[in-house]
Structure 1
């Protein structure tokens, strides 16, 4: 092992330089031909570009998909289900804010795949982390963390994942995906609730609990639930799917738990014109949530909520609603889980979206994934640790390689002050969209996300047509819910990118 690490250290500089050079030079000939133009755009706008050698603008060479992409899709479809495919990407030619395909098309990516790319394609800092001996060891010796954690696992966590832990939450349980993170949080909530009912972590299980659990009966399999909200999305795994309420296609044919669904506020826009109506709507939802907590035949052990309902249509609520929700969970002694899988890691102009709420007491658990490139849940209460080993367990229990990558992402976010940049760029972009909504009121309805970084959306009566036309003018953009156009640019998205997006949206609206 020692000789391997010495060899890796010797090889790393040349290898890393090679990768960075390839990633920058591969797209459409050479990125350097765009460097001066990109820098000029940045200087004219008064901002320093985070990726000065990324393309100066999108380039469209063919229809999307073009002939090479079509051929690749046809080949892939023989061995893999491609029916949900958005576009066939060539990541060796993607860089910064731009995603490339096989036909020479380079698109400004304001969707970041599924809000999951944090600091740009082929980010050089991430490439260096990916080619480090530490990463190589984590990949080829992937530890079964519950039984055989690597010697520096605590250091990786403390210098990475835990360095950005939400206030009051100083521990983490790592997982594989956002769905996995939520399901692990549900398990923790159920074990916590039953432990309290039993009299504490020191009280052992009864013979009846042990035997009944093996036949899926109470009390070993308790009659408890997780409360979620209408239009929520918390994942597609078996338990998380029972709390997902966004689209039938996710849930059809899958047996589900009989768990309560509370209404999520349906706000009216512009917010300043409907303050009284929206406050009443939020109170209605809080009242119904509390009623369900008190009356549902399977008592909730926890409430889970997204700061912004992303997959369900980019639905917002005010800080007052979330503060009220927190107070209800405290009043009824149930856990408050905040699902930050999509909203976390800076996209809303705060590292964690729930920081906008001004809570007096923190959530009990915060789940994360997406831009973190890893997954899990934060917590602070020691009682959320199961009373015995192997109760919250699987082979991998996360992945050190992905935790190392998240650490590099965090360092890049801090180095470039990307959370503050995203907040400023989001304000600029929102103002531009507001102007467009006045010019094209039939194209931009219910514009929302003001003060929420670049986490912006609006409703469009021809949403699917707009998404398709956007690719034709060089923009990769996404939708959510039935009619929403949602923006999910990376944290390196800047004002000159916003100008390009606004210009192309106006071109689509005019067509």
Structure 2
């Protein structure tokens, strides 16, 4: 007989690095989830921009079960058909010539930063090792990537940190220009900061970074872990900007919920990563690759990508209407279905409170820092689910304002 599980078990058994919601989801379908008590939630969180096709999508189930019936894993001493097919899909759809598979966005960014340093060391010498990143960025939780992420709260407790990483102000080209020089091997940037508050890059900022990297022989890395695979209404966000990076990292939505990540690279730079220079036990696993291939083939279509833009309109029109009534937010911003609602100064620091009230109303949302409520729903969420979800969000906003002291 299976053991009865409760939310309190988390506090007793799990390392306390998370503070999960008080309910435990047990079943999902499309953009809806049900908890242990049978309560229904509409999912605007999307597993933090992961569940691009929602929950229990038939094509994903089929891809996983078909591959599971064949074989699960061999390690990197062998290749497999699903990984090669997925690599070709990514190459055909992007600027890339080569792909490295891993298990997460952090690993993809780790690989990108390592590649950039190795390329610079091989071509120019060990003096060229500087990395320029941006304040309020988020690139993962490994020691290298948490240092590149410009949020000291995530890195300061783990010092000493990897050296020669400096942080400019996001969307401030002059700030970046002051740090990028001939000793810089790479610039890593999110085309839209996700964890940093859902802040899209200015086109001129990304164009300027491309020019600075070209001038100083530095690689331009786009972290598209959160913005990639259709999230913004283009397959990858760099396509909005007509700025092509040298390296691109992708994960999250790539597997639609199955852990997978990838580093995409031009041949010139990928060639320095020779046998033994980097690796991973599970990267390119046939189960992950099969699922990701199915996800990618569905999302990389005009129907889905244009549908994201339509859904963004549904969200923004209604959110603007809600804000006109309650005057909670300074700004509603984002691209596609990565949307942030920044609280006014009077309500600073209370995004979590709104997300908790939303959950009580049967809606799962995210936050991006203490001041931004974030939405990252499935790319194929229905109009009915958007409408009902925003009805619930409006009730949460109303309850929040009723509980705020004058």
- Measured against aligned partners, the alpha-carbon deviations of 1:446-479 in whole angstroms (never above 9, x if no partner) come to 2112xx2121111122322211110111100010
- Measured against aligned partners, the alpha-carbon deviations of 1:160-216 in whole angstroms (never above 9, x if no partner) come to 44343x2x2121111111110001011110111111115xxxxxxxxxxxxxxxxxx
Deviation, structure 1 residue 223: 6.3
Alignment of 1:149 onto 2:82 = no
Contact 2:115 2:273 in 1 (8 A): no
Contact 1:421 1:494 in 2 (8 A): no
Aligned equivalents of 1:482, 1:90: Cα separation in 2: 24
Which residue of structure 2 aligns with residue 15 of structure 1? none
Contact 2:83 2:285 in 1 (8 A): no
Aligned equivalents of 1:503, 1:151: Cα separation in 2: 45
Q: Which runs of 5+ in 1 are unaligned?
A: 1-67, 199-218, 266-284
Deviation, structure 1 residue 153: 4.3
Contact 1:314 1:486 in 2 (8 A): yes
Deviation, structure 1 residue 239: 0.8
Contact 2:143 2:162 in 1 (8 A): no
Q: TM-score, normalised by structure 2?
A: 0.89
Alignment of 1:115 onto 2:115 = no
- Measured against aligned partners, the alpha-carbon deviations of 1:127-167 in whole angstroms (never above 9, x if no partner) come to 111110x343341xx1222x222366433432x44343x2x
Which residue of structure 1 aligns with residue 32 of structure 2? 98
Alignment of 1:423 onto 2:328 = no
Aligned equivalents of 2:270, 2:295: Cα separation in 1: 28
Which of these residues, 313, 327, 333, is aligned with residue 448 of structure 1?
Answer: 333
Alignment of 1:404 onto 2:290 = yes
Which of these residues, 160, 176, 183, is aligned with residue 289 of structure 1?
Answer: 176
Change over 3 Å in CA distance of 1:257–1:508 after alignment to 2: same
Alignment of 1:137 onto 2:20 = no
- Measured against aligned partners, the alpha-carbon deviations of 1:214-266 in whole angstroms (never above 9, x if no partner) come to xxxxx5xx56222100000001001111101235045423421231100113x
Deviation, structure 1 residue 415: 6.6
Alignment of 1:78 onto 2:9 = no
For 1:24-423, list aligned pairs within 5 A.
Answer: 72-81=6-15, 83-91=18-26, 93-132=27-66, 134-139=67-72, 142-145=73-76, 147-150=77-80, 153-158=83-88, 160-164=89-93, 166=94, 168-197=95-124, 224-246=129-151, 248-258=153-163, 259-265=165-171, 285-294=172-181, 299-359=183-243, 362-373=244-255, 374-386=260-272, 388-414=274-300, 417-423=303-309
Q: Which runs of 4+ in 1 moved over 6 A?
A: none
Change over 3 Å in CA distance of 1:415–1:368 after alignment to 2: closer
CA RMSD of aligned residues (A): 2.2
- Measured against aligned partners, the alpha-carbon deviations of 1:5-24 in whole angstroms (never above 9, x if no partner) come to xxxxxxxxxxxxxxxxxxxx
Secondary structure at the counterpart of residue 117 of structure 1: coil
Deviation, structure 1 residue 118: 1.3
Change over 3 Å in CA distance of 1:423–1:151 after alignment to 2: closer
Aligned equivalents of 2:338, 2:161: Cα separation in 1: 31
Secondary structure at the counterpart of residue 432 of structure 1: helix
- Measured against aligned partners, the alpha-carbon deviations of 1:262-304 in whole angstroms (never above 9, x if no partner) come to 0113xxxxxxxxxxxxxxxxxxx21221111128xxx321000
Which residue of structure 1 aligns with residue 370 of structure 2? 482
Aligned equivalents of 1:414, 1:254: Cα separation in 2: 41
Change over 3 Å in CA distance of 1:306–1:74 after alignment to 2: same
Aligned equivalents of 1:255, 1:86: Cα separation in 2: 33
Which residue of structure 2 aligns with residue 506 of structure 1? 394
Contact 2:134 2:150 in 1 (8 A): yes
Which residue of structure 2 aligns with residue 458 of structure 1? 341
Aligned equivalents of 1:175, 1:230: Cα separation in 2: 26
Aligned equivalents of 2:59, 2:312: Cα separation in 1: 24
Q: Which runs of 5+ in 2 are unaligned?
A: 400-406
- Measured against aligned partners, the alpha-carbon deviations of 1:416-438 in whole angstroms (never above 9, x if no partner) come to 82221111110221122122222
Aligned equivalents of 2:201, 2:80: Cα separation in 1: 42
Which residue of structure 1 aligns with residue 403 of structure 2? none
For 1:18-29, list aligned pairs within 5 A.
Answer: none
Contact 2:85 2:293 in 1 (8 A): no
- Measured against aligned partners, the alpha-carbon deviations of 1:313-340 in whole angstroms (never above 9, x if no partner) come to 1122221211111111111110000000
Q: TM-score, normalised by structure 1?
A: 0.71
Secondary structure at the counterpart of residue 252 of structure 1: helix
Contact 1:188 1:385 in 2 (8 A): no
Select the structure of larger CA radius of gyration. Answer: 1
Secondary structure at the counterpart of residue 338 of structure 2: coil
